[in-house]
Amino acid sequence: MEWLINVVYYVVPFIVLLGILVFVHELGHFAVARMCGVKVEVFSIGFGKELYGWTDKHGTNWKLSAIPLGGYCQFLGDADASSSTQDVEAVKLSDEDKKFAFPYQNPFKKLAIVLAGPGANYLFAILVFASIFFFLGKINFPPVVGEVFENSAAAKAGIVPNDRILTINGHEIENFDDIRREVDLVTDGEVTVEILRDGEKLALKFPLVELEVAEHDGTMSKRPMLGVKSVNVIEVEKVELSLWQAFAEAGAEAWNITEATLRGVGQMITGKRSGEEIGGIIRIAEMSGDISKQNGFLDFVVFMALLSINLGLINLFPIPVLDGGHVIIYLIEIVTGKELSPGVREGLFKFGFTLIIALMVFATWNDFVRLFHRWFA
């Protein structure tokens, strides 16, 4: 019976989450392709064998496929779903049909269609955040301990996951960011921390311990810290916002998430941050399951918005096969006024495909190592 419960909590939310985000992404490509007069032959959620599908009046085959780990739009004239190569049969299309085939569009239209996928992910996240801000209030990350770093001050003091930090040196802690603010103000290296554990208040007094951390500018520094990490849970602070203010706050939230993600990627590339933090499909499934099992529906929706931004951003990375790789190619074609040769395009996409597979293998390995430590450590 336990395995069935885990399926409900981990597999089902993951499939729903990924299905929604993939649909949003591909819908962006689809909508702009239609506006540009390009025929979409297939709109698929998932890969592999078709489980269910229908064809609309415009000739698009909408389908759900057996492997729910992505999706694609395939345009008229493309040999594959990534639009990396032209169908060899495309040259046989009539002049009238070529007007609706993707390979025969000008690079400006191709660029708009490619950018529409990541753009849809960002728009979806902004709509989610704006709706929450307008109808419910501002999102707050409570000062609840999710993880305690080994050999940290918190670990030595006996602070454990799920403890809620109420005060530091007598100052009230309302959200997780307040913890660093108060710790940075400590001058004598010692703190008094009041926590709430299982409904009981506890007061702890202990010295801080210096830990090495990555700063916002990418540099590494040592500073006195508690050594705790937040938990995947949110609270909503009731704040009255106009619709315009809600969208402004949502846009700022999307920008902050993007900036933090890019900063983290940059730190990994320069070696200032461990590549072990890279996660893949298994990690997403684990996180979506944990949230659905331990938290509420709102937490799941916020996580979906966060993941939508990350999906849109990653797809903009200038790697052939991803949307960002296509963007670079079309920009080159716009500047030079000529298309890249089929040989060059094929070489670029083979390189991109190899790189993506390598990253997926690395991320999956990290996921398995993390799960092993979670289950057996």
Cα 53 to Cα 39, 41, 50, 155, distances in angstroms: 18, 13, 7, 54
Cα 25 to Cα 71, 125, 245, 315, 322, distances in angstroms: 9, 11, 26, 10, 12
Contact 161, 144 (CB under 8 A): no
Give the active site residue among 26, 182, 249, 253.
26
Distance CA 292, CA 7 (A): 12
328 Cβ partners below 8 Å, 6+ apart? 318
Distance CA 104, CA 110 (A): 9
Distance CA 257, CA 178 (A): 19
26 catalytic, yes or no? yes
Is the CA virtual torsion 142, 148, 152, 153 positive or negative? positive
* Positions marked catalytic: 26
